[in-house]
A = this chain, B = another copy of it.
Amino acid sequence: MRRTAALILIGNEILSGRTRDDNIQFLATRLGELGIPLREIRVIPDVRETIILTVTELRAKFDEVFTTGGIGPTHDDITAPCVAEAFGVPWEFHPATYDMLKAQFGEDFNTARQRMAKLPRGATPIPNPVSRAPGFSIGNVHVMAGVPRIMRAMFDELAPSLTPGSPVQSRTWYTTNLFEGTIADGLEAIQNTYPQLDLGSYPFHRDDGRRGVALVAKGQDQDALTQAAQAIYTLLKEKGGAPVEGEPPP
């Protein structure tokens, strides 16, 4: 079964360059393993209209939509009310979450922290084993924290409830003594033979001068993958390369 996912990173810290993203690769890898490969990623600021429009557009286009960021207690944490608005439901106290956070914070359970006890009506909390305040799922939209440690813990809680597709598998060969332009025509011929696979060519160029290209075949058809991997090996040999299976060393 082919399933698709999109990811929305919400907040200004990636856009401003303050923070280097540390969530995309984790989610891309895990979703590929689950057979729900990422097909689009958007990074958007914490602007109400932008969040609502983006969630509305992507949840109609993809099977599952994941968001990270904007669910803390501060004024710029507006993901939850915006997702509620995208679904046309109220954003209201979730009693079990309210009770849990009240017990955790005691006298410090102020107005700002109480915001973290509000979910869109009908949402299911995603437990947060790190710092308690939950994410949530509503329909096909899964709202998680932006802090990588917390996001990963939430995703581990969420993953068993996702409907998996056929896992995406891949085979990679690299060689250091060939360039893309030499093997491009041959690679295109292999791609045309196996249209159900996704063949990619990734040149690398290290600071110490090592250069070469990695060829990756990826897909959900195991037999085609085995045949394409053999064809890639043969192509690299024919062109004078020394193919090595796997990713090139960093």
A201 and B72 within 8 A (CB)? yes
Q: Which of A9-17, A88-96, A227-235 contacts B (4 or more CB under 8 A)?
A: A9-17
Select A201's contact among B17, B74, B204, B216, beta carbons within 8 Å.
B74
Q: Contact string, A26-54, partner B, CB cutoff 8 A, digits 1/0? A: 11111010000111111111000010000
**Copies of this chain present:** 2
Between-chain CB contacts (< 8 Å), 17 pairs: A11-B200, A12-B200, A14-B25, A16-B37, A17-B25, A17-B38, A18-B170, A21-B21, A21-B24, A39-B45, A40-B45, A41-B41, A74-B184, A76-B191, A108-B181, A110-B182, A110-B185
Q: Contact string, A87-123, partner B, CB cutoff 8 A, digits 1/0? A: 0000000000000000001001011110010000000
A188 and B74 within 8 A (CB)? yes
A130-183 contacts to B (CB < 8 Å): 130-131, 147, 149-150, 168, 170, 180-182
Q: A187 in the interface, Cβ–Cβ < 8 Å?
A: yes
Q: A203 in the interface, Cβ–Cβ < 8 Å?
A: yes
Q: Which B residues lie within 8 Å of A149 (CB)?
A: 205, 207
* Chain A facing B: main interface SS: mixed
Closest 5 pairs (CB-CB, A-B): A112-B184, A17-B28, A17-B29, A41-B43, A75-B188
Q: Which B residues lie within 8 Å of A14 (CB)?
A: 24-25, 28, 41
Q: Which of the four size classes fits the interface of chain A?
A: 35 or more
Q: Which B residues lie within 8 Å of A201 (CB)?
A: 72, 74, 76
Q: Contact string, A66-94, partner B, CB cutoff 8 A, digits 1/0? A: 00000011111000000000000000000
Q: Which B residues lie within 8 Å of A204 (CB)?
A: 147
B185 and A111 within 8 A (CB)? yes
A18 and B150 within 8 A (CB)? no
Q: A225 in the interface, Cβ–Cβ < 8 Å?
A: no
Q: How far is the CB of A16 from chain B (nearest CB, A)?
A: 6
